[in-house]
Structures are given as C-alpha cells and as structure tokens.
Chains A and B, each alone.
Chain A
Amino acid sequence: DAGVTQSPTHLIKTRGQQVTLRCSPKSGHDTVSWYQQALGQGPQFIFQYYEEEERQRGNFPDRFSGHQFPNYSSELNVNALLLGDSALYLCASSLGSGLDNEQFFGPGTRLTVL
C-alpha cells in the first residue's frame, strides 16, 4: 500500500521564479492538504483540496495556488518566489468524509529560494 508521495525531493529556485510541487495521496484517500514548514517550526496550513476544489485556505497570499486532479493527486504552485518561501512543503492526505481526519504526510519537498 503506497503512502503519500511527493516530487521533487529538493528544488532550488531564484527570486521571482515560479515553482510547481506535486503530491499523490495515500491509496483510498480523496483529500489533500498542503503545509509549509519553516526550520524549527510546526507545519502551517496553506490550503486543502477535496473533490477538485479548494475547501479551506490558511493565511497565505494568492501567490500560492493549487489544483486537484480527478485521480486525487494535487499540485501546489507558487509564483513570484520570495526568499521567505524557502521551506519544507508537506502534503498530507486524508478521507474527506467520516468522523475522523487522520492525515498522513508525505516526505516533503525542500524548496530553497536564492
């Protein structure tokens, strides 16, 4: 049973560039949440996708956008990169329905903005 997968593992970009990160959820999961984790901090919620729509959004600017595909995989896009966008980007998958909300994280994409 494949867990959550993310690609790429590492990425180096320069200020002003754009980046796309990808996530495939755990088998059987239909909901994908994206988090940004700065060094020494807890993950911060960016947004969540369910049924191909953004269901909830955290306190992040419009430069951060996403998409969910019919197979439940998801992309995170960040435009006009800033130095402060350097972080570990985590994707977590879960079941959109049901009483509980166990979220399982992927290995993350380490983004460095120079």
Chain B
Amino acid sequence: ELKVEQNPLFLSMQEGKNYTIYCNYSTTSDRLYWYRQDPGKSLESLFVLLSNGAVKQEGRLMASLDTKARLSTLHITAAVHDLSATYFCAVARRETSGSRLTFGEGTQLTVNP
C-alpha cells in the first residue's frame, strides 16, 4: 500500500523567512503533485513533477523530486501572508491505469506579519 507522509503538518512562520515542506512516499512512483487548498476552498494544482531531479518554480515556491530517495520538497522563499494555506503532496502509483493519486495529510502553513 502506498503511503505518503508530509512534515511538518503545521508550520507557522514569519514573513520574509524561508522554509521547506517535505513529502516522503513509500513505493516507487515517477509522478508527484503539489496542491494548495485555502480554507473552505477547493484544491489548486501547483506543480507536477515527472522525473527524478525535476525542479519547478513559481513565484516564491519551488518544488523538487528525488525518486531514488522517494522524497519531494516544497521550498518557500521569503514567505508572504498570501501563502498561508494547506499544501498537499500527492503521489501517483505506477500502475497500468496510471491515474490513482494518494494524498499526504497536508501541511497547514500560517505566515505571520
């Protein structure tokens, strides 16, 4: 059974600081997704990482994937209040149907002024 673990689950940080959210998964996969969810809202796709060593950046967020370590990171640079949200990673099983995602528990990020 594929397990996806995120840490930390709760993160409170000050504006302007940097931090990293980690996502570990238990079985082989070559696709990893990061989503953002604001309170009471739906999930918004942030990044899709498709291969070992993949790195993607959008604004103050940068995601990377190490398939050998089964680890993805979401790095936040110079955080701003607008980044406050819950961030989920999700891993696709390597199976013939190719579509099933298993989500981590989510990291609730609060950026304080």
Q: Do A and B come from one complex?
A: no
